[in-house]
Amino acid sequence: AHMDILGQMMSCFSLTDSKEVRSPGCVSGPDGGSFTMQCHYDHGWETYVKWWCRGADWNSCRIMVRTTGSESEQKNGSVSIRDNRQDCMITVTMENLRAGDADTYWCGIEKAGTDLGAHVVVTINTGKILVMGGCVLFSFPASSLSSLQPVLHCYPDHHSKKKSQLSAHLPLLKNLQWLSIHPSPH
């Protein structure tokens, strides 16, 4: 199922993370390709097991791969994880990406009680992106236009002290063409 892009982007800012683990918030990779990203953690957690799980709900996310408590890379299918203890860094790679891989994931540290973690919103680039005047237009292949709407995200002024808030202006995009944008005749 298609995950709403605006919802994904808003999740970059709205989920609560542990202060001991820091993630990039959002990563993306090309359809059929891969990405590698890092989460950083505070000193003192080097010898603990690290993991990568899928699902926006922290309490029920599904662990896809975990370390063994060492620095050796662990792989499960197309997902791998490695812990660099010297730099306090968890590296996760996802390969052979598909649109269905778009979701919220967590990189975390297993410990007694509640684990520590930071969320990562993963998006899969299947279309085109156009950036103009503080707005990002995500368009989709012509074959998918019947089921997906183009989405426009506008970022606030750089000088705003609030966290970035995104808004969608879908009615403005009625005349979007796959390779070009034509002005509306109305």
| CATH class of the structural domain 3-125 | mainly beta
- The CB density around residue 27, as the number of other CB atoms within 10 Å, is 18
What does DSSP say about strands 89-94 and 35-41: parallel, antiparallel, or unpaired? antiparallel
- Average pLDDT rounded to a whole number, residues 72-99: 97
Residues 43-85: pLDDT tens digits?
999 999 999 999 999 889 999 999 998 899 999 999 999 999 9
Which of 86-100, 123-137, 154-168 shows the lowest per-residue confidence on average (mean pLDDT)? 154-168
Rg (CA), the chain: 19
Tell the residue number behind the tokens 């975990």, with chain if given: 66
Distance CA 83, CA 180 (A): 44
The ranges assigned to domains in the chain are 3-125
Q: Helix or strand or coil: residue 168?
A: strand
Give counts: helices (H), strands (E), the chain. Answer: 1, 13
**Percent of the chain, pLDDT > 90?**
51
What integer pLDDT is reported at residue 69 of this predicted model? 84
Confidence of residue 140 (pLDDT cuts 50, 70, 90): low
What integer pLDDT is reported at residue 157 of this predicted model? 47
